[in-house]
Structure 1
Amino acid sequence: MDSSWLETRWARPFHLAFVFCLALGLLQAIKLYLRRQRLLRDLRAFPGPSTHWFYGHQKLIQDGKLEKLEELVEKYPRAFPFWVGPFQAFFYIYDPDYAKTFLSRTDPKSKYLCKFLVPCLGEGLLNLNGPKWFQHRRLITPVFNFNILRSYIKVMAHSVNIMLGKWEKICGTQDTLVEVFGHIRLMTLDTLMKCIFSQETNCQINRQDLRLFMGHDLLCNLFTVIVFAVTLVMGNYYSIPDQIIQDRKNSLKDEKKQCNTQKKYQDFLDIVLSAQGENGDSFSDTELRSEVNTFMVAGQDTMGGSISWLLYHLAQNPEHQERCREEIRSILGDGSSITWDQLGEMSYTTMCIKESLRLIPTALSISRELSKPITFPDGHSLPAGITVVLSIWGLHHNPAIWENPKVFDPLRFSQENANQRHSHSFLPFSAGPRNCIGQHFAMIKLKVTIALILLRFRLTPDPTRPLSLLPQVILKPKNGVHLYLKKLS
């Protein structure tokens, strides 16, 4: 057989495959080029920092330095396009009018964040969209009824007092340096386990009960933990909630037992499972577990961080710390009990909480993909398909809204000053139809915690260890939160 004929026979398919692949590559290149041109056209009305043709703006804030973002906010006071490469751009906004228009809609959450959250949390309120989100929101809303929240105050106070007992043993009568963030996260975990499951974990004292906490901690580092490691951890992380959920569902099937059960308060599971029966609607076991995980992960890190930042700010500003302490003493006395009505009287303390949430919000941003075009109040528009990022950090540090935005000034939130400000200039819990469902729970927890801490301890900063933030999905301290604690007599 002629060897040239064989070579020709076998070479032809390779040539055809090569031409086919080349054509596909060329089509993809044309598609990307057209995508870039379309984005350039859509975003040309909005000025922004110069961009590298390949890296985009990634090198501009590659270290996650929030100071650089603040510089951009000052230079471009409403919004700017942020390129993450040659073919993908996000649109950052931090203007109250832009925020109000954006948050009044029900655009789906950005798929870029959801692809990291779903494997870890499942599909819950944080990442669901459309009718499924409305169903979940409706079933979970009764959990945050004010009568239910009222019953949680004693639960919260009990967890805080366990932590304060630990601090008293650590400090004695001396000024003692304590890394408070770790203690506070355990305390918030303890609170959440009681409010969700009615479970006494003893996790603040007994290290054997930390396996839930450790599993959750790995799950929260979404961008540093590889998928395989997450998968290994998830088995342990889910085991405790799954068993509790099944036990509770089994007990609720027995109506007689349900009627005879006397509980001091209804927890998350009680309320959600009861709401399911009343509405004729229900979660699957997977959906219920996803919502439990969302509540625990989002609740622990947001509340743990917010309490820590508040303590840090009050330590840095002793005059405001002392004024809060005086107010709390006048309301609570020795703090042997704390009630719903008393929390409502803490006006100055509430202003300090809000100012701390302004300076360091619970979440850096909210991102959504436009399902239809949007037109902002100034007449500028964006088409469907653009990912819009509301930078809450940028909004809260925008000098066009806040005078001296880096200064801790609780009087910004006096009734008079608040009434003069735009309704969407302060959004620690977002706004609109997808606002944070747990915001009242969080505020109650903050008030209970700070009140009991200030009654028993004076806080002073460690000048050698300034607070350094690590921007992730939720802000965390890079090296902990170190404060000097002095027990008050």
Structure 2
Amino acid sequence: MFDHVTLMTLDSLLKCAFSYQSNCQESSSEYVSAIVELSDLVIDRRFRILHHWDCIYWKTQQGKRFKQALGVVQRFTRDVVQKRRALIAQQGETETQTNAAPQKKKDFVDIILLSKDEDGQGLTDEEIQAEANTFMFAGHDTTASAICWTLYNLARHPHYQEKCRQEVMELMEGRSGDEIEWEDLSNLSFTTMCIKESLRLHPPVQAVTRKYTQDMTLPGDLTVPEGVICLVSLYGTHHNPEVWSNPHEFDPLRFDPANIKSHSSHGFIPFSSGPRNCIGQKFAMAELRVVLALTLLKFRLTLGVNPECSSSSGTVRRLPQLVLRAEGGLWMQLEPLKESCLREPPNK
């Protein structure tokens, strides 16, 4: 699932945030391959102490591969930004000549290209590329992980999968098409509960860091001094039995509105928390609900077996890279649902 879903989330992000038609689901994507290689190399570098020094790392085979993959990513984002800059300039000329109001809403790349500070200065090309790289990488890889693990958890729990499907079917009843509208998202309450429980059980980002800007007193007469960098384990918090009862079980009802009040305010932090939390969390949650709804409307999900693995137990081992993946991938079977089945009452 990871390969297919990663291409889909990249395609979606580029269309929604950059107005860029990549069609990377229909043709091979050098960018996605480079992102995966960079992720692997970053993880590998962490465990090689001598590679922590740039003067050594860039001379190694891994360092040379890193620079090559990084070049692919930078060329890709530079191409996207340059095309959008040219289009904005063209649209500006057209609006000036016709004296017409702009029709298109601004997307992410429009905002970073047009933003100016109090002195009227815009972002430099390097700053724009850095923002674009961050948004594209963080915006598609993490969401792909969240979608895959949610589909996996629903495949493991068919009764929850069916309940989500019925919720979507009731929402779409009487419609000729299968498009999800923005207003529909708030009506997918149980589906959203399943998504949140999956994010708790399998957070795409396992940890974040924060730097203390002042001394912090802790219980037991301990003090964390200013300047220290603290690693906050999102995965550890989500699996802490003092925070969550039966933390390793998939139980969407934890996020029933009636139960939320009993949660710790920072016990569920898949998008981090505070002023430095994830800038794209609303986009990610919207995409998760849309993808899940349309997938369940068309397919029944069951667990698959990795053809390269001799074990048939179906056991999946988590693979903590830059985002949470599965060792050997997440394999599932998708059975197309017949249209007649979708029209049957829920009790049949």
Identical amino acids, percent of aligned pairs = 40
The residue identity in structure 1 corresponding to 2:337 is L
Q: Is the 8 A contact 2:211 2:227 kept in 1?
A: yes
TM-score with structure 1 setting the length: 0.59
Corresponding residue number in structure 1 for 2:316: 467
The residue identity in structure 1 corresponding to 2:88 is L
- Label 1:483 to 1:412 Cα distance change in 2 as closer, same or farther (>3 A): same
Q: Is the 8 A contact 1:358 1:428 kept in 2?
A: yes
Q: CA deviation at 1:257?
A: 2.4
Corresponding residue number in structure 1 for 2:76: 240
1:256 aligns with 2:105: no
Please give the alpha-carbon distance, in whole angstroms, between the structure 2 residues aligned to 1:321 and 1:307.
Answer: 14
Corresponding residue number in structure 2 for 1:214: 33
Corresponding residue number in structure 1 for 2:197: 355
- Label 1:232 to 1:378 Cα distance change in 2 as closer, same or farther (>3 A): same
Corresponding residue number in structure 2 for 1:478: 327
1:227-284 CA distance string (max 9 Å, x none): 2212122333222321332343344345332566976653221122233389834211
Please give the alpha-carbon distance, in whole angstroms, between the structure 2 residues aligned to 1:326 and 1:278.
Answer: 52
Q: CA deviation at 1:185?
A: 0.5
Q: 2:242 aligns with which of 377, 400, 407?
A: 400
1:199 aligns with 2:36: no
The residue identity in structure 2 corresponding to 1:223 is I
- Label 1:363 to 1:244 Cα distance change in 2 as closer, same or farther (>3 A): closer
Secondary structure of 2:279's aligned partner: coil
1:45-444 correspondence runs (5 A)? 180-207=1-28, 210-221=29-40, 222-224=42-44, 226-253=62-89, 255-258=92-95, 265-276=105-116, 280-333=120-173, 336-376=178-218, 380-444=222-286
Please give the alpha-carbon distance, in whole angstroms, between the structure 2 residues aligned to 1:250 and 1:200.
Answer: 15
Q: Is the 8 A contact 2:39 2:321 kept in 1?
A: no
Greater than 3 Å deviation, 4+ residue runs? 250-254, 258-266, 376-380
Q: CA deviation at 1:474?
A: 1.8
Rg: which structure is higher?
1
State the superposition RMSD in angstroms.
Answer: 2.2
Q: Is the 8 A contact 1:251 1:257 kept in 2?
A: no
Please give the alpha-carbon distance, in whole angstroms, between the structure 1 residues aligned to 2:191 and 2:241.
Answer: 24
Corresponding residue number in structure 2 for 1:162: none
Q: Is the 8 A contact 2:216 2:223 kept in 1?
A: yes
Please give the alpha-carbon distance, in whole angstroms, between the structure 1 residues aligned to 2:101 and 2:118.
Answer: 19
Q: Is the 8 A contact 1:220 1:297 kept in 2?
A: no
- Label 1:379 to 1:409 Cα distance change in 2 as closer, same or farther (>3 A): farther
Q: Is the 8 A contact 2:114 2:122 kept in 1?
A: no
Please give the alpha-carbon distance, in whole angstroms, between the structure 2 residues aligned to 1:378 and 1:280.
Answer: 50
Q: CA deviation at 1:469?
A: 1.4
Q: CA deviation at 1:467?
A: 2.0
Q: CA deviation at 1:380?
A: 3.7
Q: CA deviation at 1:378?
A: 6.7
Please give the alpha-carbon distance, in whole angstroms, between the structure 1 residues aligned to 2:325 and 2:103.
Answer: 36
Q: CA deviation at 1:299?
A: 1.3
Please give the alpha-carbon distance, in whole angstroms, between the structure 1 residues aligned to 2:199 and 2:31.
Answer: 28
1:92-132 CA distance string (max 9 Å, x none): xxxxxxxxxxxxxxxxxxxxxxxxxxxxxxxxxxxxxxxxx
Q: Which has the higher contact order (CA 8 A, sep 6+)?
A: 1
Secondary structure of 1:276's aligned partner: coil
Please give the alpha-carbon distance, in whole angstroms, between the structure 2 residues aligned to 1:443 and 1:278.
Answer: 33
Q: CA deviation at 1:471?
A: 1.1
Q: CA deviation at 1:371?
A: 3.5
Q: CA deviation at 1:478?
A: 1.6
1:374-420 CA distance string (max 9 Å, x none): 12367542223433211111110111111111110011001111012
TM-score with structure 2 setting the length: 0.82
- Label 1:265 to 1:338 Cα distance change in 2 as closer, same or farther (>3 A): farther
Secondary structure of 1:289's aligned partner: helix
